Each structure stands twice: as C-alpha cells, then as structure tokens.
Amino acid sequence: MLTATLNLTSGLVSNPGEGVNLNLDWPADRPVPLAQLDELASQLRQQGVTDLVAIGAHIQIEEAKAVALGLRYAGPLADLAKAKVEPYSAANLSVVLAGTCGGSELIPQCSFFDSERGFLRSVRMPRCDITYIDRAELNAAVGTGFSCLIRLLELSVAPGVPAGLRACSRALFDQGAMGTLALDEVAWQGANLIGLIHRLSRPQLPLTYIAQIAAAKGREGNLDAAYLLAAQLLFSEDASTLTEIAQRAGVRPLKLTPASEKQIVDKVAGLRLSYTLNPLGGKLHG
C-alpha cells in the first residue's frame, strides 16, 4: 500500500519516501476541471498510489474524493459525474480539515460540478473509508461555513436520523445562528457530526437536493448561496431570519435566470413540504 498526501491548500502532492512529488496549479476558490482531476488520478495510479491523505476543506476535499474515485476507475471521471457508470469502489481517504468546512467533507459521497454544462451530482463512494485524522489552521479559509450550518439545520429535522443526533445538530446550528460559537468552529464540529450521521443512518435530505440543483443552475458552484436559497424556500416562514444569518456570514444571494428560479420554485412546490424553526418541525402544504 502506498499513500500520497494531497495538500490542496498549497498545491503539493507528495510522498517523500516513495518519490511521489507533484505540483498542482489549481484554484482554491472554484471547482477544478474534471480533466485535471483525471490527469492527477492517472499520475498517482502510475506511481502505485492506493490511498490518500487530503489537506483542505470544502470544494478541495470534494476534489480529493474525485481523485480517490479515479484511483479505482481508470476511465474518465465524467463517466461517473454523468451517471454513465456507477463506481465499484474508491481509495480510502484520510482528511486533515484546513479551512472553513462546508459540511460534506467526511460524507462518503463526491460532488461533481461542471460549470460548462451546469450540473452538480453527488456520487456514492462505495467500499471507501473516509476518516478525520487532524485539524490544521489556515489563514486563507475557503467558504464561509454557512452551507455546513444549513446542513445541520436540515439534519435536525431529517427523517431517518436518530433523535439524539437530530438534537445535537440543532444545538450546534443554534450556537452558530445566535453567534455564541464562531461559524468557523461550528463548521469544524459540524463536518465531524455530519460525517457521523451519514455513517450511522441514511437521512432523507430534500433541502440538499434543492441546493445542489440551485448550485448547478447558478453555474458558479456556490454552495453557500445555493443552500441559502433552498433554506429560504423550505423554511419559508423563517426566510428573513435565515437571510440575516447569511448576511452576517457574508453570503450573497445566488444569481439565477428567471427560468431557472421558476424551475427550482416548482420543484420545491412538488415536494409539498415546509419546515419551521421554532418550534422546530416539518409539515405538508395544505
């Protein structure tokens, strides 16, 4: 077994003892094209790499997950992103969280975003262990942590999640929403809690479903803004409260065409579901 370290905060891939040493010229604040992820996975396969350590957060860890899938699938990652092929397995991934977390870092799913074609799809990572091993400070944080906050809110009402974990999710959300705990810290703790919940249960997540559609329609991969829109629609009675929290976090509204916005509103209406913050709960429309 050979493990390579992907330091996505500095753009270095290395394993000094085995001669794996690659420099990446990747942007830290927007998705990396699939072709570049394919190229890195191919290079690591040729070096005999079997497992990965990833240092980063938010979209950086999603890119590491894509490489982990690419270590087990020799075809183009676009096959997985477009659902032409279902992955059989993925390389094991150990994560050092460095930066502001989005909440999905420790979930065994990979989010593929293609800005040219406008889609975002989550792909399962079967036979893959994703483990949290460390936490590192990073001056230039990626993201705001808002999407992690909304993921916690959704899990606090999600069917299929044990009551105790729902309560933990809500408590952590409340601390971030009220400002009693810094949003960065909420995101650190939230990423671990969300990963645990996904390992122990299979939650139903309509808000995340809407947020991923919104991110794809926005063509920017801006999950913070996409989660804000989804939360405003599904927690419609509390939209102003959520907007205020987002503004404090520095999240700007998602830019959508009128046609795309209508499509998303129609999808939410089709769910026939809405939630309230206080008292926390869900209800069917009508």
Q: How confident is the model at residue 116 (pLDDT cuts 50, 70, 90)?
A: low
Same structural domain, 285 and 179: yes
Same structural domain, 29 and 155: no
Q: What element of type H or E holds 13? A: strand 12-15
Same structural domain, 130 and 245: no
- pTM for the full model? 0.86
Same structural domain, 88 and 159: no
Q: Following CA atoms 176, 181, 187, 191 in sequence, which dihedral angle do they give, to the nearest 10 degrees?
A: -100
For 255, which DSSP code?
Answer: P
What's the rounded Cα separation, in Å, for the pair 30 and 13?
Answer: 19
- Quote the pLDDT of residue 22: 66
Structure tokens at 64: 């590491």
Structure tokens at 45: 């396969």
Report CA 196 to chain centroid distance, whole Å: 14
The CATH code of the domain that includes 235 is: 1.20.1090.10
Q: Following CA atoms 148, 212, 272, 270 in sequence, which dihedral angle do they give, to the nearest 10 degrees?
A: 170
Within a 10 A sphere around the Cβ of 199, how many other Cβ atoms? 12
Domain boundary among 111, 143, 175: 143
Same structural domain, 26 and 78: yes
Domain boundary among 90, 115, 143: 143
What's the rounded Cα separation, in Å, for the pair 45 and 40?
Answer: 9
Same structural domain, 171 and 275: yes
Same structural domain, 139 and 168: no
pLDDT at residue 173 above 70? Answer: yes
Q: How confident is the model at residue 139 (pLDDT cuts 50, 70, 90)?
A: very low
Lowest mean pLDDT among 29-43, 176-190, 223-237: 29-43
Beta strand ranges found along 57-140 (DSSP E): 93-98, 109-114, 119-124, 130-136
Structure tokens at 131: 């483990």
Domain boundary among 143, 173, 193: 143
What is the pLDDT of the chain when averaged over all its residues?
Answer: 86
Same structural domain, 231 and 167: yes
pLDDT at residue 270 above 90? Answer: yes
Domain range enclosing 119: 1-143
Same structural domain, 180 and 214: yes
Residue 59 or residue 116, greater confidence: 59
- Quote the pLDDT of residue 140: 45
- Quote the pLDDT of residue 229: 96
The CATH code of the domain that includes 124 is: 3.40.50.1970
Q: How confident is the model at residue 25 (pLDDT cuts 50, 70, 90)?
A: low
pLDDT at residue 66 above 50? Answer: yes
Q: Is 276 helix (H, G, I), strand (E, B) or coil?
A: strand
Radius of gyration of the chain (CA): 18
Same structural domain, 138 and 187: no
- Quote the pLDDT of residue 119: 59
What's the rounded Cα separation, in Å, for the pair 36 and 71?
Answer: 14
Number of separate domains in the chain: 2
User: What would the pLDDT profile of 77-100 be if each residue is shown by its tens digit?
Assistant: 999 988 899 999 999 999 998 878
Residue type at position 55: I
Residue 242 or residue 117, greater confidence: 242
For 17, which DSSP code?
Answer: G
pLDDT at residue 104 above 80? Answer: yes
pLDDT at residue 38 above 70? Answer: yes
Same structural domain, 126 and 149: no
User: What would the pLDDT profile of 121-136 be if each residue is shown by its tens digit?
Assistant: 889 999 999 999 888 7
Residue 142 or residue 255, greater confidence: 255
